[in-house]
Chain A
Amino acid sequence: MIQALFDGILVGSILSLGAIGLTLVMHILKFANFSHAELLSIGAYCALTFDTVLAAIAPPMATLFSPFSMSAALALAMLASAAFTGGTAIIVDQLVFRRLRNKAGALTMVFASFGVALIIRNVIGLIFGLNTQRYSDEISFATMVSADPLLLIKPDQVAILVMALMAMVALHLLLTRTTLGFALRAVAENPTLAQVNGIPLESVVRLTWIIGGGLAAIAGVLYGIDNQLSPVMGRDLVLSLFAAAIVGGLGSVSGAMFGGFIVGLASSFAILLLPAGYKPAIPFLVILVTLYIRPNGLFGETR
């Protein structure tokens, strides 16, 4: 029971990071981006590359911080990957979504995002191979925090939770303390008014992609540390991210954060009741229940 609670919170923190970016993009660009989860894959694999390169140039950086299976190289790689992924998101936007934004409806962008997801996912498979990989081959052992009820926690998992919360706090500060953050919230609320107040929409769109891509990259790395890297991790996570965004209410950052934890907990508790094979369908049930009882989500505005 308590183990499911911990696992749910852990997975939830990763989903939250991904869902925050997704909800921002959905709110500001007005379309459900099915390729958002692929940004997690890009981030995870990009960090793997940076990590390998850094470890090769400066071997001391690859020393693991015991008891964690992380190194300074991986921490740096994660930050570099966040920047790279944000940049990639902008490039994809310029190549595909911006062109459609100017001439087609929102659903055409949804449509295109499926195609983009398919391309990114399989190009990653082509570059990095179809097998799963890990950041570190060291086997990290779980510590038994409590025997009855059983609770096993790996040091890495605590680190993941702390890093995810740090990223959320950083975003919160950006949105509530800086005029850049106000500009983003202003465009989310009323694009025309934001424009006549001197905010160029396209630059806020770029900011949205940087934040969304950056958070997705961090989420992807944390997911990779906790599980493993796989070219199809985006496919496996996309529905959970949408479920988190919908439960929280589209466009609500705090909603997406809570939504992530709710979906994480729902999935981890569900396997206490259902065979593990049903786990991938849990986010769908969460979506369906939300749409039937509270279609605008916990924090969403009525539309």
Chain B
Amino acid sequence: MIGIISYLTFFLTITAVLAIAVLGLNLQWGNTGIFNGGVVAFFGTGAYVMVILAGPERAGEFGGFGLAWPLAMIGGALGAGILAFIVGLATTRLRHDYLAIATFGIAVAVEVFARNATFWTGGAKGIRGFERPLEAFISNPFVYGLFYLTIVLAVILLVYLALERLVRSPFGRLLRAIREDETAARSLGKYPARVRLQAFVLGAIIMGLAGGLYATFYAFISPQDLAPILTFQIWAMLIVGGAGNNRGAIAGTFVVWGCWVASGWALSSFAPADVQIYAGTLQYILIGLLIVGMLLAKPRGLLPEKLAVSTHSFEPVTPAKATQAS
């Protein structure tokens, strides 16, 4: 029984951490229509900066500032935000797919940096020996698991409530207006590029927060955690749940992460040994099919957005095409 609860705690913690990142992506893609091709870069930056600020002293390497955990978490989130600002400043004014390319690029760059800049990041071996908050006081790992889950759930609740307020605020309406019709928003005297940049940075900060929670949970971070598949998984979660809807984003995280874990377990338990080495390959195909299939069959996800400004949001009609169809 304890085993099951303990596993459930573990599963819920990871799901909730990922859900926070999905919420950040939802602000960018779902609400503002900004395409982030490198979620893992901001997630990873949040994780690394947090560990460096609050983590152990490492011989001959940067870090060991002994900052209090909440402050380090904020630092990590800000680090992710600054990174987003640098990329966003160059791209939010340009054709929209430039940001997709630039963010994809920064994910590669962050992983390469984490792998090679040993002085800053510990290189391929990563950073170990992180002391989790209040770990010294809660010695029972089972109780600590529950305690940490509570922290994560508190953070997700906070992020969720803040985002719900945000999307209902005038700023949220502005985001959706820009997503629907940038020209119209500009003609009303708004600066779409600036607003898009704000939403992009804010989303990245939330992803950084998720990264910090993730690194805290494992008390360890390494370049392995920055694999590009994480970006794809987080997208799949959002698109399954329903872009634009925060509750959908959380529900999608449960569904997709559940499927991922279950498929991994099924493959490792039932697949013959020679198929085992392809387990990851099969799972990646699954994520790819999930993304493409959802976009084709149910682009609004399981829980579609309720606050849509117009009914045309995902179905712009080009005159020539429409005539052919009619």
Contact = CB atoms under 8 A, between A and B. Distances in A.
Contacts of B321: 102
A275 interface: yes
A118 B288 contact: yes
A34 B104 contact: yes
Interface in B187-243: 228, 232, 235, 239
Interface string A202-240: 000000000000000000000000000000000100110
Given A112-B295, A280-B112, A288 B235 contact: no
A193 B39 CA distance: 40
Given A114-B235, A119-B288, A122-B284, A278 B97 contact: no
A275 B124 CA distance: 14
Interface string A101-141: 01111111011101111110111011000100000000000
State the main secondary structure of chain A at its contact with B: helix
Contacts, number: 145
Interface in B84-119: 87, 90-91, 93-98, 100-102, 104-106, 108-109, 112-113, 115-116
A111 B320 CA distance: 24
A203 B315 CA distance: 23
Contacts of B105: 239, 242-243, 283-284, 287-288
A288 B102 contact: yes
Interface of B: 33, 35, 37, 87, 90-91, 93-98, 100-102, 104-106, 108-109, 112-113, 115-116, 228, 232, 235, 239, 277-278, 281-282, 284-285, 287-292, 295-296, 299, 314-316, 320-321, 325
A74 to B, nearest CB: 27
A115 to B, nearest CB: 3
Contact of B314 (A105, A275, A292): A105
A107 B30 CA distance: 12
Interface residues of A, number: 53
13 contacts: A102-B321, A103-B314, A106-B97, A110-B100, A114-B37, A115-B292, A115-B295, A121-B284, A238-B104, A277-B112, A277-B116, A295-B98, A303-B95
